[in-house]
Amino acid sequence: MSDFVRAFAFILGTTLMYATPLIYTAIGGVYSENSGVINIGLEGMMYVGAFAGAAIAVVTGNSWIAFLGAGVVSGLFGLLHAVACIKFNANQTVSGIAINFLAPGIALFVSRRMFNGATMTPSVPLELKLPRPLNGMFNSLMETYPDNLLIESLSTIFNQYITVYIAFAVVFGTWYLLYKTRLGLRIRAVGEHPKAADTVGVNVYRIRYLCVSASGFLSGLGGAALSIAIVSNFRPGLISGQGYIALAAMIFGKWKPRTTMLACFLFGATKGLQFFLGGPMVGFEISADLLAMMPYMITIVVLLGFVGKAVAPAASGKPYEMDVR
């Protein structure tokens, strides 16, 4: 029984850890697509955010500046996507794909310039990583009750980096903004019926610029949550499709914050299972290549079984030209 509890706690704790970067990025997609702009570029924005977070942490020695700086840098790529799609009416899918090529290229170029030709940043020292706010409490409890299975399991699940708890706040804040505020009503109106929103005085362009830039900012936070909390550095294969998985989670979550978060937990659970099945608890060996495929296989299965049933905001992907009177 104790082995089962430990295994369950390990999988759940790993799920929370690895779902967090997806939550930031997928919620970024929720903002963009609810305003009517498709953002395929989440992968590239997440990538450049991961680099910016690690690089800024190494240079400044402050993980909070690095975390927010990653969001700002990635937000600039969101703004670039917004300019291309809103001002110049570029094809939104093509623009997003271009971001996915451009952002990693710039990140690797800057990395080589900053770190003597290396495409991998130095490791972020342990003391510079984003904190685990409950670490002290759980360490104290473990010392007081060293053989208590419940405390051990709760520590495994909830002794997380602060990025996990901020992600929950982002989801709640996004839900509240979209469904309980006037701004949220305007965002959803612009994504569904921009012409009608325009006729009642809503600035469609301003709303879309704001939301697409926000999607870049949150994607950057998602990348930084990987590079300066979970992994401790940036390397070329760090993101490796996480942005696309976040995009799938957004679609699976029907472009809504809370269901998108649950979809991210589903994909995060594949990481938990991947590490569990590849660890010593299982007792037999499973191919590392097969384990590495799990998140992407589940993503494909989910999309094949669900994407046709998902209905995006009506104006998503459609350029809007404001009437000039």
The amino acid at 67? F
Task: Write out the two tokens for 20.
Answer: 């967090």
**Average per-residue pLDDT for the chain:** 91
Cβ neighbour number for residue 299 with a 10 Å cutoff:
20
Tens of pLDDT, residues 110-138? 999 999 999 999 998 887 788 999 999 99
Tell me the DSSP string of 241-262: THHHHHHHHHHHTTT-HHHHHH
Say how far apart CA 307 and CA 318 lie, in whole Å: 19
- Residue 173 pLDDT class (50, 70, 90 cuts): very high
Say how far apart CA 230 and CA 233 lie, in whole Å: 9
The amino acid at 261? M
39 pLDDT above the threshold of 90:
yes
The amino acid at 130? L
Task: Write out the two tokens for 158.
Answer: 């909830």
Cβ neighbour number for residue 275 with a 10 Å cutoff:
17
Short-list 229, 102, 211, CA closest to 162: 229
Cβ neighbour number for residue 136 with a 10 Å cutoff:
11
209 pLDDT above the threshold of 90:
yes
CB-CB contact of 152 with 6 (8 Å): yes
Give the 3-state secondary structure of residue 133: coil
Q: Which residue has the higher pLDDT, 1 or 62?
A: 62
- Residue 301 pLDDT class (50, 70, 90 cuts): confident
Tens of pLDDT, residues 275-284? 888 766 666 6
49 contact partners, CB below 8 Å, separation of at least 6? 70, 71, 73, 74, 219, 220, 221, 222, 223, 224
pLDDT value for 291: 74
308 pLDDT above the threshold of 90:
no
| Token pair 């290396």: residue | 118
Tens of pLDDT, residues 128-168? 788 999 999 999 999 998 889 999 999 999 999 999 999 99
∠ Cα 175 181 22 (to 5°): 25
Task: Write out the two tokens for 226.
Answer: 């990987």
pTM of the model: 0.94
Task: Write out the two tokens for 265.
Answer: 């937990």
Cβ neighbour number for residue 106 with a 10 Å cutoff:
16
Tell me the DSSP string of 167-220: HHHHHHHHHHHHHHSHHHHHHHHHHH-HHHHHHTT--HHHHHHHHHHHHHHHHH
CB-CB contact of 122 with 58 (8 Å): yes
Say how far apart CA 203 and CA 186 lie, in whole Å: 9
140 contact partners, CB below 8 Å, separation of at least 6? none
pLDDT value for 284: 62
Share of the chain above pLDDT 70, in %: 94
Phi/psi-derived region of residue 61, left when phi > 0, alpha when psi is between -120 and 50, beta in every other case:
left
324 pLDDT above the threshold of 60:
no
Q: Which residue has the higher pLDDT, 303 or 228?
A: 228
Parse the chain into domains and list their residue ranges.
Answer: 24-240
Cβ neighbour number for residue 323 with a 10 Å cutoff:
7
Tens of pLDDT, residues 255-274? 999 999 999 999 899 888 88
188 pLDDT above the threshold of 60:
yes
∠ Cα 246 160 278 (to 5°): 70
325 pLDDT above the threshold of 80:
no
The one-character DSSP state at 159 is -
Across the range 99-116, mean pLDDT stands at 96
Tens of pLDDT, residues 49-85? 999 999 999 999 999 999 999 999 999 999 999 999 9
242 pLDDT above the threshold of 90:
yes
pLDDT value for 240: 87
Reported residue count of the chain is: 325
